[in-house]
Amino acid sequence: MPLSRLLRSVGVFLLPAPCWAPRERWLGSLRRPSLVHGCPVLGAWHGARCWCQVWTEEPRALCSSLRMNGEQKSDVYAQEMQNFIQHFSQIVRVLTEDDTGHPEIGDVIARLKEVLEYNAIGGKYNRGLTVLVAFRELVEPRKQDADSLQRALTVGWCVELLQAFFLVTDDIMDSSLTRRGQVCWYRKPGIGLDAVNDALLLEACIYRLLKFHCREQPYYLNLLELFLQTSYQTEVGQTLDVITAPQGHVDLSKYTEKRYKSIVKYKTAFYSFYLPVAAAMYMAGIDGEKEHSNARRILMEMGEFFQIQDDFLDLFGDPSVTGKIGTDIQDNKCSWLVVQCLQRATPEQRQILQENYGQKDAEKVARVKALYEELDLPSVFLRYEEDSYNCLMSLIQQHAAPLPPGIFLALANKLYKRKK
């Protein structure tokens, strides 16, 4: 019997390990069995099964298998959503209880409560939920006590607060109108540029929560450094975005694919994808550079996938579904659409873009959109989405180990074909 058929037949009868079981490189699991329900034998069998699958399945079949597994994992997000949202009341309580000991700042605390409740909730919670779901995947069930899960929930909300901090300031800089289906915070009557200080309050809350809940934990310093580094990386990305596309000055020569990828890497991928998974890894005691490097490789690609979808939905999405009115054309943004347009445009079409891009005129915005449709960019996007998803499946197959692939598959499947 050929080796591949023998391995495949053996693999059929091997039991799968739960996702929290420690996993090493495929053959490493055979040399040093992992524990599955406390049984090293089943752990070794699981390692053999993984090894069989990698070496015997056709790549397309394996991708299909991974996709199905990822769809199952994505259901976990729905199960955890209610717990995550309910925890927000505890977050607000911890952050506003200063009022009792310091009555002189009572008005500040009332303002903070209003800022939190307007800006931190109403999103999809994908970033924060990822911390909790990844933590459950990485930590053995017997170690998931009430206190550790409370900390995972809190760190998830820290990621959401960082998101809120970025969005409040970004909306001001972009002169955005709506966010998450409501008027942007700075546009509310009586707020205006006071929203800058409100954003700073949101950022400060992150470190108050980490200190309150995680100060005694061995991973506290790693979390502090992770959030600080991620904030810096995101602000670098925002700076790249601002200097590439200043309002009132259109320079199409700056809109290159290389610059676009740099903006996406720093402005979106680090905080949206690497941060929540890395936080869960540190909380699970995984602090090795190799493990983080492998995770980062997958998650940075995922971040680019996400941002390109966002750029497409900014113009072609349904505002009643996305919760915001897109303004990338008016704001002179270095978006994926304009980069793709420039790669395909004739000199005449480029001139049309030059005359209409980056201007807050509805007719000129419509002219740019018509140019994108003329170049069939919606179809270009659909092909990109398929190719990028398949690339992600390949990266997960190659680089997920020793982490459970389900962490990455759930994220990838939530992104695939999303409408908001």
174 carries an active-site annotation = yes
Q: Which of these is catalytic: 311, 314, 328, 331? A: 311
**8 Å CB contact between 337 and 372:** yes
Q: What does the angle CA 54 – CA 387 – CA 73 come to, to the nearest 5 degrees? A: 55
**8 Å CB contact between 392 and 269:** no
Q: Which of these is catalytic: 166, 227, 306, 312? A: 306
98 carries an active-site annotation = no
Cα separation, 232 vs 271, in Å, equals 10
Helix (H, G, I), strand (E, B) or coil at 179: strand
Give the containing element (helix H, strand E) for 60: helix 59-96
DSSP-derived secondary structure for 238-302: HHHHHHHS-TT---GGG--HHHHHHHHIIIIIIIIIIHHHHHHHHHTT---HHHHHHHHHHHHHH
Q: Which of these is catalytic: 67, 99, 111, 170? A: 170
Cα separation, 409 vs 130, in Å, equals 12
Q: Which of these is catalytic: 241, 314, 328, 331? A: 241
221 C-beta neighbours (distance < 10 Å), count = 11
Q: Which of these is catalytic: 267, 324, 333, 414? A: 267
Helix (H, G, I), strand (E, B) or coil at 361: coil
Q: Which of these is catalytic: 310, 314, 328, 331? A: 310
Six token digits for residue 347: 């000199």
Q: Which of these is catalytic: 124, 187, 364, 420? A: 124
DSSP-derived secondary structure for 146-164: HHHHHHHHHHHHHHHHHHH
Give the containing element (helix H, strand E) for 106: helix 106-119
227 carries an active-site annotation = no
310 carries an active-site annotation = yes
**8 Å CB contact between 119 and 185:** yes
- Residue recorded with tokens 């969005």: 167
Cα separation, 155 vs 135, in Å, equals 11
Closest CA to 325 of 150, 137, 120, 174: 174
Helix (H, G, I), strand (E, B) or coil at 307: helix
165 carries an active-site annotation = yes
Give the containing element (helix H, strand E) for 183: strand 182-183
306 carries an active-site annotation = yes
Instruction: Give catalytic residues, as residue numbers.
Output: 124, 165, 170, 174, 179, 241, 267, 306, 310-311
